[in-house]
Structure 1
Amino acid sequence: MNKLIAQDLVPDLPFEIFSEAVDEVQRNVMAPRELAVCSALAIISLACQGLYDVKSPLGNVCPLSLAIMAISGSGDGKSPTLRAFAASVFKYQETLLAEREIDLIKYKTSHGIWFEILKAYRADLRKRVKRGESAEEVAGLIRKHHEIEPRPPLNLLFLNDDVTVQALFQTMNGGLSSAGWISSEASGILKGGALQHFDKINSVWSGDGVRVGRVSSESYQVPDARLTLCLMIQPNVFESFNQAKGDNARGTGFTSRFLFCRPRSTQGTRIADGSEQGWDACERFGTRAVALLKDYVERCRLGESARQVIRLSERANDVWIKTRNEIEREMTQEGRYGWAPDHASKLAENMIRLAALFHVFEGREGDISEMTMRGAVELGYWFSRQFDKIFSPDTILANDANELHAWLRAHYEKTGDRRIERNYVRRYCANRLRDSGRLDELYEKLASDGLIRLVHEGKKGVVILN
């Protein structure tokens, strides 16, 4: 599939902690650089989104949450790449969960004692009522006792993998309202239908919170939710998801919120030189991520939920406004984004989110600088080109035509016959290309490129490979 994916290198960015870690992972794991970039961005988003928002020049306040989808084949290094960036965060999560288990035991003990005292008060109340005595004193004790009821420890789960949308939001209700749904093997999430309720995910991405209505139990609301999504999936799973739910995902605006990439595989080029691998940059990256997460968790424990709002400097403001207007002008029917106004409508906001994330994670002071904003714009446009390669009708047609041509060439190399009946092609080519209408489009494309000829032999349609 590599020859079907045109190469578009990730831009070099002026962000030290981020870039050095990405370089190190690419050097050590030898997976596609795009996977390293997506993994790093997911952890940065998770670390920053609970503490900060960003105010755009138009006056609206945006979350720093990112939604990322990386489409990459089996064996490309998705898991080791994500693990390299997330190791410290995973370890911190385990520490928090272990601490909560201890706190939960203490809570159950203290609540048991509290409940026994309540039972005694209630028994006393019943006796007084039966005897016709005044119960005001014991009623007052009961009211005061309810005020000191021990509360369960905060649910400190912020990393989720194999969950459903419902379970995810239920965990956030009464726990940390900032979380990540991050998986290097997200095929089960898309295949199994865990990724439902596009509207709720859209709402959280936009910073509007989410309300979950239930019939069998009490409904609840997570008004201040922040959610980072990073789903790494195999190409065939993505194609199946896109065929089954792609129209709905695009129509609801779900797809437009994502930063997509589909990297070329590095398999066959990952030649080790035997030198010892160093992980200093990743340790520095992980230390910074954990420091931000610790700050967020401690604020939640203290009941502090307000986030700091970051603003753009005057020059960064000018860069963003100019970029935003350029994107807007290209959303006309004849423009670059005429085929994808849904994607374009979210692109400028994703750029300002990226700028704010780099600003916070790199430890920059004050307002977002022009340099940071320009770097975020460049990366945003790169993600936009990736979106184009995955979803553009022209690109999809070209890729499918290349795939069909490769299948025709393989058939010729096996049989030595350049002549293939169209009925045979329809029965044995890649399953997703077998629709007769789609094959006609692909034949027309290949014929116009001079790669095949279409002839009729009696009633039979025949493809002749040039």
Structure 2
Amino acid sequence: MSMMITPPAYPVHELFAAVRDAIWEVQHQIQAPDALVAGSFLTAMSIACQGNVDVVIPTGLERPCSLYLAMFGQSGERKTTVDNLVCASVYEHDKQYASANVDALAQYEATMRMWQAADAALQRKLNKALQEGTDLEQYRDELVAHARLQPRKPVPKRIIHQNITERPFLEALHGDGKSIAILSDEGEIVLKGGAMARPGVLNKSWDGAATLTLDRADAHVHATNPRVTISFMVQEEVFQGFWNKRGRTARGSGQMARYLVAWPESTVGFRRMTLEDHTWVHLPSFHERISELLVMADKRLESGEPRAKLEFSKEAKELWVDSQNWIEFQMRPGNIYSGIKDFASKALEIAGRIAAVLHYFGDLKDPISRDTLQRALHIAWWHLDEFNRLFGDVNCVPQLDRDVHYLIQHLFDHYWSQGYGRASWNKVRTHGSVRDQERFEAAMKELERQGVVQTGSERGWRGKGKRYIYLNPHYFQPALTA
């Protein structure tokens, strides 16, 4: 993965006003990176919409509106706080499921005891007939009918799953049209879950496969038309461990290419605490809409009503064609997306999914307009460039050069441009992404060699006091005025 270039601001302004204002409100209150906050909102919206609608993209294919998201950030980015705030309605819906699960389990146990009593009585009847030499064939129909009545233990009903293996994953989707999410603010839980080791299953879920099956001696599971959202926030070291072990498979199988990835600039160390009251003006309306759509999805599933199909307007289809032709050209050898053909080839479909989510969540009239698709494209293009930044050909740049570039950017953004001519050595190391001690020291040594910085203590260049990084004005001032 590469951190050579700091990503631009997330295009929050492209979201419709109700969502946009709620994102800005959370970002202002929590002071977490913009892409992490926006990613949580897209996650909640995907979960709420995926059980209600599908999208017919201009190629004629009917696809889910489900999204996969992978967001990166260091420890202390307040990922947990953001997740709990934004997805509160989804968690609350799961609490309501938990109560229903208790009742369903009690009903199952009562029914099973009655079935077992009938089974025991039938077995006694067979034993008696066998002792008397009576033909047992006369009981076949009764045995078959009884076997068909054996109750199936209910799978606990809930939306959010974290550390889940393949079998529970498919059991949660058993039936027709089930909708779940693999979601965690601690990505290690998700990445180490067994389902992540089966990219083929997750790929089929993303594609909206007609049927996912699990046939074993003790289990026969059939999930028809499942809908799945995956979203996790993960620290660099944790993801790097997963990448070292499974990265080749994740990339080669196309699994990683289905994710909207984001690694925004850290805000740790630059947040300002205030005593102002945290009054939520816009977030409650967002939560109400999420709850409304989750209830609608439950009713739709119970009634057997199919999901609605969203299509694009004629003008939106024309924009789609222009965008497809442009991105296809950029995948040619030597062009900007030639190193990430896997993601680039899916980027337009992902944009279509985002457009469907924006359209349905905003309760807009059909069909999906050109304006909505344009907004979705701007969001998808941001993630396309982010995927290129993290996984594209830029990764051929040596690690030392990447670390040097990142430190220069970090020192400029968080110190020089804020009016500071020096920075704490420990703060820069612990609050930036170059946190490995050896890599950090090697990069700082290179910066000193190039004359970009000097290092010393507050007691003098040879003292033993607190260590600082002093910025060279002749290097940073031209960058500020350029």
* Greater alpha carbon shift after TM alignment, 343-352 vs 185-194: 185-194
3-state SS of 2:382 partner: helix
Q: Is the counterpart of residue 335 in structure 1 residue 344 in structure 2?
A: no
Q: 1:155, 1:174 within 8 Å by CA — same for their partners in 2?
A: no
Query: Could you say if the C-alpha distance between residues 404 and 33 of structure 1 is closer, same or farther in structure 2, counting changes exceeding 3 Å?
Result: closer
Conservation of the 8 A alpha-carbon contact between 2:46 and 2:66: yes
Contact 2:176 2:226 in 1 (8 A): no
Q: Secondary structure at the match of 2:232?
A: strand
Contact map agreement 1:49 1:226 (CA 8 A) in 2: yes
Q: Which amino acid aligns with 1:311?
A: E
Q: In the alignment, which residue of structure 1 is the partner of 2:87?
A: 86
SS at match of 2:233: strand
Note if contact 1:71-1:263 (Cα within 8 Å) is conserved in structure 2: yes
Matching residue of 1:323 = 323
How far residue 69 of structure 1 moved from its aligned partner, in angstroms, is: 0.4
Alignment partners' CA distance in 1, 2:205 and 2:157 = 19
Deviation at 1:375, TM superposition (A): 0.4
1:358 is aligned to 2:358: yes
What's 1:437 paired with? none
Is the Cα contact below 8 Å between 2:79 and 2:233 reproduced in 1?
yes
Q: Does the 8 Å CA contact 1:155/1:176 hold for their aligned counterparts?
A: no
Contact 1:122 1:142 in 2 (8 A): no
Give 2:429's aligned residue: none
SS at match of 2:397: helix
Contact 1:182 1:230 in 2 (8 A): yes
Tell which deviates more after alignment, 348-357 or 109-118.
109-118
Q: How much has 1:290 moved relative to structure 2?
A: 2.1
Contact 2:188/2:234, CA 8 A, preserved across alignment:
yes
Distance 1:149 1:167, change over 3 A: closer
Matched with 1:168 is: 169
1:225 deviates by: 2.0
Cα drift, residue 42 of structure 1: 0.9
Q: Which one-letter code corresponds to 1:117 in the other structure? A: A
**1:440 aligns to what?**
none
Partner residue in 2 for 1:301: 302
Offset of residue 377 of structure 1 = 0.5
Say which of 414, 439, 445 aligns to 1:430.
439
The two structures have a TM-score, normalised by structure 2, of 0.78
Residue 251 of structure 1 pairs with residue 252 of structure 2: yes
Say which SS state the counterpart of residue 430 (structure 1) adopts. helix
Cα deviation per residue 1:122-181 (whole Å; 9 max; x = unaligned)?
434554565466889876555555565555446412211122344322332359732100
SS at match of 1:297: helix
User: Is residue 268 from structure 1 mapped to residue 269 from structure 2 by the alignment?
Assistant: yes
Which amino acid is the alignment partner of residue 161 of structure 1? Answer: Q
Name the Cα RMSD after superposition.
3.6
Q: Report 1:62-461 matches (<5 A).
A: 62-124=63-125, 126-128=127-129, 130-131=131-132, 150=151, 152-153=153-154, 155-173=156-174, 177-190=178-191, 195-208=196-209, 211=212, 217-302=218-303, 304=304, 306-394=306-394, 397=397, 400-404=400-404, 429-430=438-439
Separation of aligned partners in 2, 1:279 and 1:43: 18
Provide the C-alpha distance between the structure 1 equivalents of 2:218 and 2:149, rounded to a whole number of angstroms.
Answer: 26
The alignment partner of 2:231 has SS state of strand
Alignment check: 8 A CA contact 1:125 1:139 kept: no
- Cα deviation, residue 234, structure 1: 0.6
Alignment partners' CA distance in 1, 2:356 and 2:169: 26
Q: Distance in 2 between matches of 1:84 and 1:216?
A: 43
Alignment CA distance shift 1:356-1:226 (3 Å)? same
For this pair of structures, how many residues does the alignment match? 427
Any idea what SS the aligned residue of 1:264 has? coil
TM-superposed CA distance for 1:384, in Å, is: 1.0
Sequence identity (%)? 26
- For 1:19 and 1:405, locate their aligned partners in 2 and report how far apart those are by CA, in whole Å: 32
Moved more, 348-357 or 181-190: 181-190
Between 92-101 and 175-184, the greater mean CA deviation after superposition: 175-184
Distance 1:197 1:77 in 2: 30
1:400 and 1:358, CA in 2 relative to 1: closer, same or farther beyond 3 A? farther
The residue matched to 2:228 in structure 1 has which SS?
A: strand
Give unpaired runs (5+ residues) of structure 2.
412-421, 423-435, 454-474, 476-482
Structure 1 residue 28 and structure 2 residue 29: aligned?
A: yes
Q: Secondary structure at the match of 1:429?
A: helix
Residue type at the aligned position of 1:21: A
| Conservation of the 8 A alpha-carbon contact between 1:51 and 1:307 | yes
TM superposition score normalised by structure 1: 0.80
SS in 2 for 1:236: helix
Between the aligned partners of 1:407 and 1:377, the Cα distance in structure 2 is 31
CA distance in 1, matches of 2:295, 2:437: 56
- How far apart, in 2, do the equivalents of 1:267 and 1:258 lie? 25
Moved more, 85-94 or 191-200: 191-200
Equivalent position of 2:433 in the other structure = none
Which range moves more in the overlay, 26-35 or 126-135?
A: 126-135
